[in-house]
Amino acid sequence: MHAQSLSVRYASGVTALERVGFDVPPGQFVALVGPSGCGKSTLLRLVAGLLAPTAGSLSVDELPPAAARRQAAVRTSFVFQDPTLLPWRTVRRNVSLPLELAGEPVDLHRAKVDAVLALVGLADFAERFPAELSGGMRMRVSLARALVTEPELVLLDEPFGALDDLTRHALGDELATLWGGRHWTVLFVTHNIAEAVYLSQRILVMSPRPGRIVADLRVPFATPRSRALRSQAEFARFTAEVADTLERAGT
């Protein structure tokens, strides 16, 4: 993934992003942090091919994102903060939806859905409806739905933002384990700096609007990471360094 001088200016006159540039090699986990309204979600939409830049260039596998998606050059999945599950469909049928929309034969759905539900710990809840699930379980369903297409690029827009800390940590551990086994390319938006440090290999720090990349920080901890890392002094020091960088970006 390569971005150069990306800018987005809306018809209202608001400039969301200004001259953003970065490279993300395949298989890397990159977090985006920055103040509210700095364009993090806009950047994810650009990468997903849901929005075109006003200026600059962006390529995914050397193609414009929308073309990469249409040609299935890179299978892309998007996970939002709101799980956006269909309440009248069971867990199984919510997860199978992307396969149905892609026109994949129904007889192939069950094996893929069963595998991904087992992966996220929901094998025993396949016939439940969203209203019967906790917030953390609904987010697991959303993650399973994103993974059932076997993506190469996963875009996550504050997926754990509405969850309590205990559930957030548990799902973060699960996401880290899943990534460790598959090494998708990941762009992960979060306001939680400790979460960004724990999960990612790099952190891109963005300025207030119009959003710019003001720092590209390599996370100095090897993967896979132990839960005990969160309580170590080195983790606290680096988290404070990222927080200081973010604070300076806003001044």
Taking Cα atoms as reference points, which of 192, 200, 191, 242 lies closest to residue 225? 200
Taking Cα atoms as reference points, which of 186, 193, 89 lies closest to residue 143? 186
DSSP β-bridge partners for residue 105: none
DSSP β-bridge partners for residue 227: none
Mean pLDDT in residue range 126-140: 92
Q: What is the pLDDT of residue 251?
A: 53
Q: Which domains, and CATH codes, for the chain?
A: 2-75+152-249 (3.40.50.300), 83-150 (no CATH)
Q: Which residue has the higher pLDDT, 81 or 54?
A: 54
Q: Residue 25 contacts by C-beta under 8 Å, 6 or more apart in sequence?
A: 1, 185
Instruction: HSE, CB side, 13 Å, CA atoms: give it for residue 233.
Output: 0
Lowest mean pLDDT among 59-68, 102-111, 114-123, 198-207: 102-111
Mean pLDDT of the chain: 89
Residue 74 pLDDT > 70, yes or no?
Answer: no
Taking Cα atoms as reference points, which of 158, 224, 200, 179 lies closest to residue 29? 200
Q: What is the pLDDT of residue 73?
A: 56
Residues 174-210, buried b or exposed e (16+ Cβ, 10 A)? bbbebbeeeebbbbbbbebbbbbbbbbbbbbbbbbbb
| Residue 168: how many other CB atoms lie within 10 Å | 19
pLDDT, tens only, 22-69: 999 999 999 999 998 899 999 999 998 888 899 999 998 888 888 877
Residue 227 pLDDT > 60, yes or no?
Answer: yes
Mean pLDDT in residue range 205-214: 93
Mean pLDDT in residue range 98-118: 83
Mean pLDDT in residue range 205-215: 93
